[in-house]
């Protein structure tokens, strides 16, 4: 693009800008889908066990994405890349989804969203450790602010043993979600090189299969004991939304963002998720945001802004 003839740069720049704006719009839609998904998952785990629900929705996403790749005759990655992506799928769609579902089942949907919104700070830390991102003083301050915010959210929203945790939280829940956040952050940083070489749909299908296999193995017993024929329309709707929209469609938007805008800018859109989740969880689940939650959210968002500046 830097070798284009003099009359052409303006047109190229305009197309590039339009391309980026289109990607930004898709990432906003992704944030909305994922923000609502926290509430959908919370409701879904009320119809069946967390592992059964998780296995079902990931299986749906893996089958649908793989079927589309086959139907559209897209090229599969070479064997070495295929194995690497399957391995990354274990981290990003296996371990992440396991810790996520077990965590959200034990804490508030809003708390889950707030903790996961700190992923950009962890990406900066991981990127610095792996030597793919430099950390200046501003980024260090941003990371510290985000970690302080997470501490407020984790310890400020827990309830004593014996309290009603249907809408509340125990310490185990936020810590499981924090582990999920670390898995997602590592996955996103390691995935970046592949987004530039592998088609987004194929990438999504392969990594989803990589995560689905271990998840289904772990959840096999609970899946077998679930009375699928007696599930309500609401339960199937939750599975469909979480499997087709949150795991299939929204993931395609995420991979496009990582490829076009990079993991740093793409991760910024996760800032919208907790706002959406908190607003929807309030009327849907009766989760009234606490003062500590709000303070933690402000600290996390401030830290993310510093990290991304």
Would you say 49 and 222 are in contact if contact means Cβ atoms under 8 Å apart?
Answer: yes
* Domain extent for 198: 31-227+234-308
Which run of H or of E encompasses 287? none
Residue-level pLDDT at 3: 43
Which run of H or of E encompasses 285? helix 272-285
For residues 262 and 235, give the distance between their C-alpha atoms in angstroms, rounded to a whole number. Answer: 36
Q: Which two tokens stand for residue 32?
A: 């909305």
Residue-level pLDDT at 208: 96
- Enumerate residues 6+ apart whose C-beta is below 8 A from 74: 199, 201, 202
Q: Where are the alpha helices (DSSP H) in 90-169?
A: 96-104, 109-116, 119-130, 137-156
> Positive or negative CA dihedral for 47, 51, 52, 56?
positive
- Is residue 285 assigned to a domain? yes
Asked if pLDDT for residue 71 goes beyond 60, the answer is yes
Q: What is the pLDDT of residues 125-154, one digit of tens each?
A: 898 888 877 777 887 888 888 889 888 887
pTM: 0.82
- Is residue 36 assigned to a domain? yes
The separation between CA 305 and the C-alpha centre of its own chain, rounded to angstroms, equals 19
- Is residue 208 assigned to a domain? yes
- Is residue 126 assigned to a domain? yes
For residues 119 and 179, give the distance between their C-alpha atoms in angstroms, rounded to a whole number. Answer: 11
- Is residue 212 assigned to a domain? yes
Q: What is the pLDDT of residues 169-190, one digit of tens each?
A: 578 999 999 999 999 999 999 9
- Is residue 12 assigned to a domain? no
Domain count, the chain: 1
């Amino acid at each position: 693009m830097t070798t284009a003839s003099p009359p052409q740069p303006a047109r190229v720049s305009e197309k590039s800008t339009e391309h980026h704006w289109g990607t930004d719009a898709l990432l906003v839609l992704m944030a909305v889908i994922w923000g609502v998904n926290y509430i959908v998952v919370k409701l879904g785990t009320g119809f069946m066990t967390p592992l059964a629900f998780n296995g079902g929705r990931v299986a749906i996403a893996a089958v649908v994405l793989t079927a589309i790749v086959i139907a559209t005759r897209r090229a599969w990655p070479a064997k070495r890349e295929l194995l690497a992506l399957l391995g990354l799928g274990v981290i990003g769609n296996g371990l992440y989804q396991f810790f996520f579902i077990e965590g959200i089942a034990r804490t508030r949907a809003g708390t889950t969203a707030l903790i996961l919104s700190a992923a950009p700070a962890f990406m900066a830390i991981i990127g610095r450790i792996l030597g793919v991102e430099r950390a200046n003083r501003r980024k260090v301050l941003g990371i510290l602010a985000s970690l302080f915010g997470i501490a407020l959210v984790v310890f400020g929203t827990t309830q004593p043993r014996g309290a009603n945790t249907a809408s509340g939280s125990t310490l185990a829940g936020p810590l499981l979600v924090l582990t999920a956040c670390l898995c997602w952050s590592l996955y996103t940083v390691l995935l970046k090189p592949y987004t530039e070489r592998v088609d987004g749909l194929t990438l999504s299908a392969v990594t989803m299969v990589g995560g689905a296999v271990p998840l289904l193995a772990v959840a096999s017993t609970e899946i077998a004991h679930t009375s699928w024929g007696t599930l309500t329309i609401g339960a199937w709707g939750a599975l469909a939304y979480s499997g087709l929209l949150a795991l299939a469609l929204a993931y395609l938007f995420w991979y496009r963002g990582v490829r076009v805008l990079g993991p740093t800018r793409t991760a910024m859109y996760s800032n919208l998720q907790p706002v959406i989740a908190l607003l929807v969880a309030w009327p849907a689940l009766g989760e009234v945001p606490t003062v500590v939650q709000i303070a933690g959210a402000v600290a996390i968002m401030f830290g993310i802004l510093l990290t991304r500046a």
